[in-house]
Amino acid sequence: LDHLLPRRQKLTRGHHAAMAYASVPAFITDLQEREAVGALALEFLILTAARSSEVQGAAWSEIDLEAQVWTVPATRMKAGREHRVPLSGRALAILETVRPLSGGDEHSPLFPGRDGGPLSNMALAMLLRRMGRTQTVHGFRSSFRDWAGEVSTFPREVAEAALAHTVGDATERAYRRGDALEKRRKLMDAWAGFV
């Protein structure tokens, strides 16, 4: 069949529209002027470089306020591995703001929708549209990665770990078992300071 059929073409969906990292601080300022759970969720997403599904599905049981860490279970991660996210001071302040909305239940969503359940899949995308933006929610991960690669002095591996990306070949991954949490904490604090 290799000789009879044409080669399969790669998918050409393109990249998610992303905001230039230099524009993110002004965007955050605009976002903070909005009094909505969606605005807080989007800011939290940007600060943590998380995927929208991770933020929308986050529950209080995943948050360790004392250790300042959000642990996303493997079942909700794209790579199927648990991911610890260090929380900056601003990310913690957002959690304190939304805490009263959840009713205190550890299984309640961090960012509840109008019905008390998690925000809908489209809530963050619609917020961007209402703000007149053409970028995607997922594009903020690219904004973070561009900033980390172009402005910060943190190693590539630390930035990729912050995005929960798999780095290196199978042999390298077999020997690197840590998640560089403390290095990532410094990275995420620097990102929060920048935005």
Each residue's pLDDT, cut to its tens digit, for the chain (195 residues) gives 566 666 665 544 556 789 999 999 999 999 999 989 999 999 999 999 999 999 999 999 999 999 999 999 989 888 888 999 999 999 999 999 999 987 768 889 999 998 888 898 899 999 999 999 999 999 999 999 999 999 999 999 999 999 987 665 454 544 455 578 999 999 999 999 999
Catalytic: 175? yes
Q: What is the DSSP letter of 3?
A: T
Q: Which of 8, 15, 175, 177 is catalytic?
A: 175
Phi then psi for residue 63, to 5 deg, are: -100, 130
In this prediction, residue 86 carries a pLDDT of 97
Whether 84 is catalytic: no
21 is annotated as an active-site residue = no
Give the pLDDT confidence score for residue 80 in this predicted structure.
84
Residues with Cβ within 8 Å of 180's Cβ and at least 6 positions away in sequence, in order, are 157, 158, 161
Catalytic residue among 78, 81, 156, 176: 78
Q: Is 74 left (phi over 0), alpha (psi -120 to 50) or beta?
A: alpha
Catalytic residue of the set 81, 129, 130, 165: 165
Catalytic annotation on 3? no
Q: Of residues 51, 90, 145, 184, which has the active-site annotation? A: 51
Among the listed residues 83, 84, 90, 141, the single catalytic one is 141
Active site residue 10: no
138 belongs to the catalytic site: yes
| Catalytic position from the list 99, 133, 138, 186 | 138
